[in-house]
Amino acid sequence: MKADPFVQLRLLDLQALDRALDQLAHRRRTLPELAEIDRLERLVQAGRDDVVRAETEASDLARETKKYEDEITQVRTRKARNDERLASGAITQAKQLEDLQHENASLERRQSDLEDRELEVMEKAEAVQEVLDRLLGGRAEHLAAVEQAGVGRDAAWAEIDAELARATAERATVAAELPADLLALYERIRAAEGGVGAGEITRGRCGGCRLDLMGNEKADIRAAAPDQVLRHEECGRIMVRTAESGL
Ligand SMILES: [Zn+2]
């Protein structure tokens, strides 16, 4: 293949733009904010089960507390009624009087027992509420941090996208200057060889694979016409001669 030496130099501009575009795309994919958002979202996700568990436990304990409250109220009401009857003087039979006093003593023990148990449940509920508050506080912090990282990500993306748009437009201009066959060859090699289709020969070294050229290769290059499109036998990439080639 043949191409004007100036056109060959433009191929190096195209390669530089493609390299810049690849780097921008890589930067876009690997922003530190993306890893941070991922990490925080995992934490929120992992904490979700803990929150549900603590909420369930808190509502169970609240229900249990309510149950004790109701029982205590019943016992109190019953005892108040007995006290009323005792105070009224309506009960005159000794046996009946004694039974009521017995029942009251038993109701008092029952109330005291219920109050002890209620207190235990309330202490447990308080501890669970503390855990829940801490979990919800942590979650709120993580969600706020996700939002902040999202703002940073969007700002970085906006900047990268502006550079991508600029470089893409410039690439189109350069690509339009190149003959179709040379461009197609470059694209094919670039796709197969990790994004590098052409390189400048610098100080006797292939710019594509960075290998030093052998003596006979250099001799062949010196003997080649300036418009001959050269390819490195080792890596297959297009080699472009410049004043820095050191041949
Ligand atoms: Zn090479």
At residue 93, what is the residue type?
Answer: Q
Tokens of 214: 């052998």
Q: What is the DSSP letter of 244?
A: T
User: How much distance in Å is there from the Cα of 213 to the middle of ligand 1?
Assistant: 8
Per-residue model confidence (pLDDT) at position 22: 98
User: How much distance in Å is there from the Cα of 219 to the middle of ligand 1?
Assistant: 16
Backbone angles phi, psi at 206, to 5 degrees: -70, 125
User: How much distance in Å is there from the Cα of 108 to the middle of ligand 1?
Assistant: 97
Q: What is the pTM of this model?
A: 0.76
Tokens of 5: 């030496």
User: How much distance in Å is there from the Cα of 14 to the middle of ligand 1?
Assistant: 18
Tokens of 175: 């690509």
Report the candidate in 21, 5, 18 with the shortest Cα–Cα distance to residue 239: 5
pLDDT digits (tens, 9 = 90+) for 82-139: 999 999 988 889 999 999 999 999 999 999 999 999 999 999 999 999 999 999 999 9
| CA distance linking residue 68 with residue 73, whole number of Å | 9
Tokens of 80: 């108040």
Per-residue model confidence (pLDDT) at position 227: 97
User: How much distance in Å is there from the Cα of 117 to the middle of ligand 1?
Assistant: 83
